[in-house]
Amino acid sequence: MKYLKTEALVIRAQNFSEADKLLTLFTLEKGKVPAIARGACKTKSKLASSVQLFTRGDFLLYMGKTLATVSQGEIRESFHSLRYDLFNYAYGQYFCELVGRLLEEKEPCPQEYRLLLDALESMNGDTAYLEVLARSFELKLLKILGYPPYLECCLACSSQEGPLWLSFREGGLLCSRCSLRDPGAKKIPPGTLSLLTKLLSADFKALRALRMSSSQREDILSINKGLIRFNLNLGGCKSLRFLEQLGC
């Protein structure tokens, strides 16, 4: 099959030459696909609007050995508002980078696709909510990829007695006694634990009214970073550093 017709999200778009754009498409059929859109930098190009970052569209791709070529693109949703608001843009870029770095090429990942689409559709420019959305997105992505943090009770002895500790290495809670097995475990206040549970399991829409205190924001950011680093072996997202520079 040389041609592939598929729905996709543009998760990366960069100018490759004066005329061409290099893309990473997250396709519904084949997961992550690197592609080139020839002529897309020219204003008269039919492809120009359909290959912008965040666009959801129907694409006809010629599947080359290493790189696909975009033959046609039709916009379903342009996510225009995400490109023209700095905070929406920065968070959207982070979601796309995270997904792009974690997925293997050419493996269908419909759950991850749905999660990214849900996140992009939920973004509303409200920085407090965008931060909640980001922490929830990270936890839900860990869950889909098979690494949900275990937050019910101590994963070694089932005790629910506080204080509880979160072990990145073990991927969940430990009680005080069992926390000795992981010197890197982080003590977790009950309020933070209940927030983590909500962020992991509630729909994005249901989290709109959720607010985090500044210490909870810091705790959850550092917990999620630890979980992502230990379970997915991923650190140093460029777009997350950009968000930190913006004070997010």
Considering the complex, what minimum distance in angstroms separates the CB of residue 190 from Zn ion?
16
Separation of alpha carbons 26 and 121, rounded Å: 16
Site for Zn ion contains 175 (CB under 5 A): yes
Using CB under 5 A as the binding rule, the residues of this chain from 122 to 161 that contact Zn ion are 154, 156-157, 159
Considering the complex, what minimum distance in angstroms separates the CB of residue 175 from Zn ion?
3
Considering the complex, what minimum distance in angstroms separates the CB of residue 21 from Zn ion?
53
Q: Closest Cα partner for 53 from 28, 19, 88? A: 88
Answer whether 112's CB lies under 8 Å from 140's CB: no
Site for Zn ion contains 78 (CB under 5 A): no
Tokens of 48: 């120009």
Q: Is the CB of 181 or the CB of 238 nearer to Zn ion?
A: 181
Q: Is the CB of 53 or the CB of 178 nearer to Zn ion?
A: 178
Residue with tokens 């072996």: 233
- 86-102 vs 238-245: helix crossing angle, rounded to 10: 160
- Count of helix runs (H) and strand runs (E) in the chain: 7, 8
Q: Closest Cα partner for 99 from 54, 66, 166? A: 54
Q: Is the CB of 64 or the CB of 190 nearer to Zn ion?
A: 190
Q: Is the CB of 155 or the CB of 210 nearer to Zn ion?
A: 155
Separation of alpha carbons 248 and 244, rounded Å: 5
Torsions phi, psi of 155, nearest 5?
Answer: -75, -10
Range in contact with Zn ion (rule: CB under 5 A) among 11-19, 62-70, 81-89, 177-185: 177-185
Range in contact with Zn ion (rule: CB under 5 A) among 35-43, 125-133, 172-180, 206-214: 172-180
Answer whether 200's CB lies under 8 Å from 138's CB: no
Answer whether 36's CB lies under 8 Å from 67's CB: yes
Amino acid at 69: T
Q: Is the CB of 175 or the CB of 199 nearer to Zn ion?
A: 175
Range in contact with Zn ion (rule: CB under 5 A) among 121-129, 133-141, 174-182, 192-200: 174-182
Q: Is the CB of 157 or the CB of 234 nearer to Zn ion?
A: 157
Total number of residues that touch Zn ion (CB under 5 A): 6
Tokens of 107: 């493996």
Considering the complex, what minimum distance in angstroms separates the CB of residue 182 from Zn ion?
11
Site for Zn ion contains 19 (CB under 5 A): no
Write out the residues near Zn ion by the rule CB under 5 A: 154, 156-157, 159, 175, 178
